[in-house]
Amino acid sequence: MDFHRQLFVSLTLLLVGFGLLMVHSASVTSWPTEFEQVHLARHLMFLVVGLLAAVVAASLPPEFWKRIAPWLFALSLLLLVLVLVPGIGVRVKGAQRWIRLPGVSAQPSELAKVALPLMLCWILERNRPQLNRLLSGTLPFFIPVALMVPLVLIEPDLGTALFLIAGAGLVLFAGGWPMRNFVLGTLTAIPASLFLLVMKPYQQRRIAGFFETWADFDAAPYQLKQSLVSLGSGGLLGVGLGRGWQKLSFLPEANTDFVFAVIGEELGLLGTMSLLTLWCGLYLTGLRMLSRLEPSSFSFVAGFTLLTQVFGQAMLNVAVVTAMVPPKGISHPLISAGGSNLVMSLLALGIVISLSRDEQVELKPQE
pLDDT in tens, 8-47: 999 999 999 999 888 888 776 544 455 555 667 788 889 9
Q: What is the pLDDT of residues 294-304, one digit of tens each?
A: 988 999 999 99
* Buried/exposed 85-103: b ≥16 CB within 10 Å, e otherwise: eeeebeeeeeebbbbeeee
**Helix, coil or strand: residue 293:** strand
Chain centroid to Cα 224, Å, comes to 21
The length of the chain, given as a count of residues = 367
Cα torsion 269, 270, 272, 273: sign = positive
- Say what the pLDDT of residue 37 is: 58
- DSSP secondary structure string, 174-186? HHT--HHHHHHHH
CB 308 within 8 A of CB 187: no
Cis omega (within 30 of 0) for bond into 129: no
pLDDT in tens, the chain (367 residues): 588 899 999 999 999 999 988 888 877 654 445 555 566 778 888 999 999 999 999 999 999 999 999 999 999 999 999 888 887 877 776 677 878 766 667 888 899 999 999 999 999 988 887 777 767 767 888 889 989 998 898 887 778 888 898 899 899 888 888 887 777 766 766 666 655 555 566 556 666 666 666 666 666 677 777 888 888 888 888 888 878 777 776 777 777 788 898 999 999 999 999 999 999 999 999 999 999 999 889 999 999 999 999 999 999 999 988 888 877 778 899 998 878 899 999 999 999 999 998 777 776 554 4
How high is the pLDDT of residue 366?
Answer: 45
Q: What is the pLDDT of residue 30?
A: 43
Contact predicate 304/290, CB 8 Å:
yes
Nearest to 341 by CA among 351, 331, 350: 331
The region, left, alpha or beta by phi > 0 then psi within -120 to 50, assigned to residue 334 is left
Please, where are the H alpha helices in 199-327? 201-215, 222-234, 259-290, 298-321
What pLDDT does residue 31 have?
Answer: 44
Question: Reduced to 3 states, what is the DSSP secondary structure of residue 10?
Answer: helix
Listed in sequence order, the residues at least 6 apart from 293 whose beta carbon sits closer than 8 Å to its beta carbon are 299, 300, 303, 355, 356, 358, 361, 362, 363
Q: How many CB atoms lie within 10 A of CB 224?
A: 24
